[in-house]
Amino acid sequence: MKSLTDILEHRISRAIEKVTGQPDCPALVGISKNSKFGDYQANGVMAAAKKLKTNPRQLAEKIIAQLELDDICEAPEIAGPGFINLRIKDSFLTEHLLEINADTHRLGIDKTDKPQTVVVDYSGPNIAKQMHVGHLRSTIIGDCICRMVEFQGHTVIRQNHIGDWGTQFGMLIAYLGEKFYAENPDGDLQSDLEKLKAFPIQNLEQFYQEAKARFDESEDFADKAREMVLRLHNQKTDTMAFWQHIVDESRSHYQPIYEQLTVTLTSEDERGESFYADKLADVVEVLKQKELAVKSEGAMCVFPEGFLNKEGDPLPFIIRKSDGAFLYATTDLAALRFRVNELKANKVIYVTDARQAQHFQMLFATAKLAGWTDDEIDLIHVTFGTMLGTDGKPFKTRTGGTVKLKDLLEEAIQRATAVVEEKNPDLSEDQKKDIAKAVGIGAVKYADYSNNRNSDYIFSFDKMLAMEGNTAPYMQYAYARIKSIERKAAGKDVDIASELAGITTLTFTDNAEKDLSKMLIRYDQAIAIAAAECRPNYLTAYLYDLAQSFSRFYNACTVLKANADQRPVRLLLCDLTARTIKHGLTELLGIKVVEQM
């Protein structure tokens, strides 16, 4: 089932082309800002009239005469200089609602008929360091993009580009070796790998800091660390075993956070910097052969056109330092080349903060110069702003330190627990625990999603846990409230699901029923726009509007005491609203709902 906006756009554009003889005349169909003028409005006539140098209102009259919308709309009306106002027929609404009701899994939304392979690069934690609050936005925005694009019917390949390579690993491996052999003086990694696997790194941050302190204080240790870097690059068995253990231990810290956030990343989605280590030299060599990489002050650089430094000189994209070391740019070029050539990506989406904008602009430009991408492959950098504290500065602990993501989520659950205890003290402990986790984690995620991702936003537990406004608790309560209505409507002897499945005709008796119906059939359009723009806030805005529309409907229309003629449509509207909210929250935003709050 195509979106209603798409259907209207297609038919009106066809009528404009028929009247004007001009191809590619967009109808520019949008939802009316004021419902008294109709449900949708086509604004494309003015542009067509300007192109033809004719009167737009007269042109609109000719276009209306050619429109074939009788199955969808009442008679179109012309407003102002040539706007075409459209009001949806009750018969179309009811037919649409029944189609949505019959489709349990997709709510009547078709998959794309042009599926693509979309690679999404997001999260990217650093090995041997705990995830901090700065990882939150990339992780959850990237996950939402994956969910929406996947729901549309595209093949999504998630890529967690973890920082698991580089000179710092010499230091970490050397320190782990010291600690391991101190406890296992006769240890032999060739025959005793199980002992290493059972050797935990309890505190990643402390482990990293201790290793760094040893590196700074001891020249002998620093020499050992440099030796470990060389052994790592040569993939010596014992060194690789220590490296793998550090990676595995780090994963045991960040994977539970993904699960707590209901993020869909798994260990199989990891393709870190180490994966590309043996591909970096070839990247440089190919760019040299193409005469794109040149030496500048001893370093190998590409100078894509249009990038200048503060002095107005060409800005280098450095791919190998003067000492021979490779950089992020080299790894990112190798990754992009792999994603296009091996993963067969039609589109690659990178989700990072806005400070990396120039890096990705230069990356995309360099890849295009090299012929590794072309206009058929979409390269998109999805940027986001900074999470701020209530003081308007980047979010920190009270002592000025970086906020660990694990601590942030635990505090969210604790605060939600207090709210649940206050609102529902009679619930069982297990119910309180489940609700607090769903509300606490959901509040953090929804607060982020509901903001324009390009904007900085102030992190406030009080606001995000509020039961009013566009918050997760409000949306979760809206869902739980409808489920409560359905339970009351069912009583002891009525199977609501069977009753709803058996509905074949619907009759509206109140305008509030129609208004809610019109909101429900716009869900597909909300997903399409949010996915196309990679903006979860478009989806949260729709869900909030839907919940408010339901409140107006419920205040205007009796459900539990509705008569036999009114009951089917009102129960169905309740159920479809609940299903849509649940689908949007759980399937697309990764936020759990609860049946009772």
Give residue-wise pLDDT tens across range 181-212: 887 776 665 556 677 877 888 888 899 999 99
Q: Is 530 found in the same domain as 402? A: yes
Q: Which domain range does residue 25 map to?
A: 4-88
Mean pLDDT of the chain: 92
Q: Is 84 found in the same domain as 181? A: no
The domain boundary, picked from 224, 240, 269, lies at 269
Q: Is 582 found in the same domain as 469? A: yes
CA atoms within 13 A on the CB side of 447: 24
Enclosing H/E stretch for 457: strand 457-458
Count up the domains in the chain and report the number: 3
The domain boundary, picked from 31, 62, 88, lies at 88
Residue-level pLDDT at 187: 63
Residue-level pLDDT at 402: 84
Mean per-residue pLDDT for 571-576?
95
Return the ∠ at Cα 414 (arms to 209 and 442), rounded to 5°: 95
Residue-level pLDDT at 498: 74
Residue 10 included in any domain? yes
Q: Is 175 found in the same domain as 64? A: no
Give residue-wise pLDDT tens across range 530-543: 999 999 999 999 99
Give residue-wise pLDDT tens across range 138-172: 999 999 999 999 999 999 999 999 999 988 999 99
Q: 3-state class of 110 per DSSP?
A: coil
Residue-level pLDDT at 391: 86
Q: What share of the chain is helix, strand, coil (3-state, %, to 5)?
A: 55, 10, 35
Q: What percentage of the chain reaches a pLDDT higher than 70?
A: 98
**Short-list 564, 595, 590, CA closest to 578:** 595
Residue 337 included in any domain? no
Structure tokens at 274: 């180490």
Between CA 426 and CA 413 the distance in angstroms is 19
CA atoms within 13 A on the CB side of 409: 21
Residue 95 included in any domain? no
CA R_g for the chain: 29
**Short-list 267, 229, 264, CA closest to 248:** 267
Residues facing 317 on adjacent strands:
302
pLDDT for 544 beyond 60:
yes
pLDDT for 110 beyond 80:
yes
Return the ∠ at Cα 397 (arms to 396 and 400), rounded to 5°: 70
Sign of CA dihedral 346, 123, 357, 538: positive
pLDDT for 492 beyond 60:
no
Residue 58 CA to chain centroid, in angstroms? 45
Residue-level pLDDT at 180: 86
Q: Is 183 found in the same domain as 79? A: no
Query: Where does the pLDDT of residue 458 fall: very low under 50, low under 70, confident under 90, or very high at 90 and above?
Result: very high
Q: Is 210 found in the same domain as 84? A: no
Residue 16 included in any domain? yes
Mean per-residue pLDDT for 589-595?
96
Mean per-residue pLDDT for 213-239?
93
Residue 34 included in any domain? yes
List the CATH number of the domain containing 415.
1.10.730.10
Q: Is 525 found in the same domain as 405? A: yes
Residue-level pLDDT at 189: 59
Give me the DSSP letters along 73-141.
Answer: BS--EEETTTEEEE-B-HHHHHHHHHHHHH-TTTTTPPPPSS--EEEEE---PBTTS--BGGGHHHHHH
Between CA 333 and CA 368 the distance in angstroms is 11
Mean per-residue pLDDT for 444-465?
94
Between CA 321 and CA 335 the distance in angstroms is 19
pLDDT for 526 beyond 80:
yes
The domain boundary, picked from 53, 88, 123, lies at 88
Residue 357 included in any domain? no
List the CATH number of the domain containing 26.
3.30.1360.70
Amino acid at 452: N
H helices present in 342-383, as ranges: 357-369
Give me the helix-helix angle, 280-289 and 328-341, nearest 10°.
Answer: 90
Between CA 471 and CA 488 the distance in angstroms is 26
Beta-sheet strands, E only, within 125-256: 155-159
Question: 295: Cβ–Cβ under 8 A, 6 or more apart, which residues?
Answer: 301
Q: Is 172 found in the same domain as 83? A: no
Between CA 450 and CA 66 the distance in angstroms is 41
Give residue-wise pLDDT tens across range 4-59: 888 999 999 999 999 998 888 899 999 998 888 899 999 999 988 888 899 999 99
Question: 274: Cβ–Cβ under 8 A, 6 or more apart, which residues?
Answer: 164, 165
Residue 492 included in any domain? yes
Return the ∠ at Cα 214 (arms to 223 and 210), rounded to 5°: 140
Residue-level pLDDT at 423: 85
Between CA 32 and CA 30 the distance in angstroms is 6
Residue 515 included in any domain? yes
Q: Is the pTM of this model over 0.85?
A: yes
Q: Is 191 found in the same domain as 67? A: no
